[in-house]
Amino acid sequence: MDIKSPAFAPGALIPPKYTCDGADLSPPVSFSGAPVGTKSLALIADDPDAPMGTWVHWVVWNIPAGTRSLEEGVPKKETVADGARQGTNDFRRIGYGGPCPPSGTHRYFFRLYALDAALNLPATATKQDLEKAMQEHILAQAELMGKYTRR
C-alpha cells in the first residue's frame, strides 16, 4: 500500500499553505494498493517531535475502501462528502490542524491504514480512540513523512 502527496515529496518540506503560517488547509493525499478485503481506510497525521510528546494533527476514519485520494482542504467537519469521519486533533478541533512547530524542524507523519471493517466512533474520537478501535482490523499500512520549519 502507498500514500503520497502532490504537494510535497517524501521527506521534503510541507508548503506553508498547509500550515498555521498559511491557509491551514489539509494537503492533498492519494493512496493505492489497499489489499483485498479492505472495508475502510483510516488516516492519522502527527508530529513526534513536539516538545510535550507526539502532537496529533488529523484523525480520519471510515474512508470508503474504493477512495483513492483526499483532496486539498477537506472541510473541518465531523462527516465529509464521502462519508468519512473526522475526529478531534490535539488543537481540540475537528478535522485537520496544520504544522505549527514552536521551534526547529519537525517531522509530520501521515499514516494510512487499510482496515477489514468500518468503525463506529463518535466525532469526539481521538487518535488513541481510533488506534484502540483499529486493533486487530489492520490489513496494511503506509506512511508519508514531510517536514516543516516556521519562518
Domain that holds residue 19: 2-149
Residue 151 pLDDT exceeds 90: no
Number of domains making up the chain: 1
Quote the longest CA-to-CA distance of the chain. Answer: 44
The more confident residue out of 124 and 56 is: 56
> What tens digit of pLDDT does each residue of 19-65 get?
999 999 999 999 999 999 999 999 999 999 999 999 999 999 999 99
- pLDDT attached to residue 62: 97
Please provide the distance, in angstroms rounded to a whole number, between the alpha carbons at the two ends of the chain.
34
Global pTM reads 0.96
Which CATH number is 25's domain given?
A: 3.90.280.10
> What tens digit of pLDDT does each residue of 76-110 get?
999 997 899 999 999 999 999 999 999 999 999 99
- pLDDT attached to residue 81: 78
Cβ atoms of residues 57 and 64 within 8 Å: no
Cβ atoms of residues 104 and 24 within 8 Å: no
Q: Is 95 exposed, middle or buried (0-12, 13-18, 19+ CB in 10 A)?
A: buried
